[in-house]
């Protein structure tokens, strides 16, 4: 779990909550998405306040990956997880999925198994499927899981393009993300009972000082 968190993420911004396993970053992301009940405090997502407006927040925030609660089924083929998303997510069409894949820079082979995708493509496929829902915000955890160091910059650039396309991106990772305009970086401590600084944020370039 987590405590002592105080931060602002502007609409269309990019949050990177980074810390080791057990630091509470997955719990934080699920709480921001309205999928985990808070034991104290409050969160405002757009014009909605948690926990009282959880249903509205859940409708506005798509979760791309937050294992083990949310993850693509590895034994399915790529075309099958795409078809499943069209059936289960209102408004998602084949065209939307294609546009989302283009936005993150992938062209996955439909007949391939999800479990055979390399870590970068698996991450970006999950992101694209969530982006196709046209959410107000998008959560993706374990951004750097299994990624070689030389792939990190391209992945964060892809998430920045997702942010540029409209939704606020709420990401979780172990390693400190590279600095970027519009990035809000939140460092979570090794021991989740340690209190965090009152506020950790980097303002967007075009924001007022």
User: pLDDT tens across 73-108, in order?
Assistant: 999 999 999 999 999 999 999 999 999 999 999 999
Higher pLDDT: 40 or 33? It is: 33
Domains and CATH numbers, the chain: 60-162 (3.40.50.300)
Residue 182 pLDDT > 90: no
- Please give the pLDDT value at position 132: 97
Q: What stretches of the chain show up as alpha helix (H) in DSSP?
A: 25-32, 54-60, 78-88, 94-104, 119-131, 149-164
Q: Is the pLDDT confidence value at 188 over 70? A: yes
Using one digit for the tens of pLDDT, what is the confidence trace for 131-173? 999 999 999 999 999 998 899 999 999 999 999 888 999 999 9
- Binned at pLDDT 50, 70 and 90, residue 191 comes out as low
Residue 161: exposed, middle, or buried by beta-carbon count in 10 A (0-12, 13-18, 19+)?
A: middle
- pLDDT value at 17 more than 60: yes
For the record, the structure tokens of 41 come out as 């405090």
How far apart are the C-alpha atoms of 51 and 59, rounded to whole Å?
14
Does the pTM surpass 0.75? The reply is yes
Answer whether residue 112 shows pLDDT above 50.
yes
- Are 146 and 118 a contacting pair, CB within 8 Å? no
How far apart, in Å, do the first and last CA atoms of the chain sit? 32
């Amino acid at each position: 779990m987590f405590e002592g968190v105080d931060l602002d993420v502007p609409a269309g911004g990019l949050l990177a909550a980074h810390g080791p396993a057990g630091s509470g970053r997955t719990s934080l992301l699920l709480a921001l998405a309205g999928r985990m009940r808070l034991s104290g405090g409050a969160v405002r997502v757009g014009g909605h306040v948690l926990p009282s407006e959880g249903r509205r927040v859940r409708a506005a925030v798509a979760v791309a990956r937050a294992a083990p609660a949310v993850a693509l089924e590895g034994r399915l083929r790529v075309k099958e997880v795409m078809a499943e998303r069209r059936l289960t997510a209102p408004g998602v069409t084949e065209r939307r999925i294609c546009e989302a894949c283009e936005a993150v820079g992938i062209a996955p082979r439909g007949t391939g198994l999800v479990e055979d995708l390399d870590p970068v493509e698996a991450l970006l496929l999950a992101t694209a499927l969530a982006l196709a829902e046209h959410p107000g915000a998008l959560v993706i955890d374990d951004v750097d899981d299994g990624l070689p160091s030389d792939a990190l910059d391209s992945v964060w650039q892809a998430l920045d393009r997702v942010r540029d396309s409209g939704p606020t991106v709420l990401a979780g990772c172990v390693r400190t993300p590279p600095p970027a305009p519009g990035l809000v970086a939140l460092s979570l401590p090794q021991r989740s009972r340690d209190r965090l600084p009152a506020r950790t944020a980097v303002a967007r370039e075009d924001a007022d000082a």
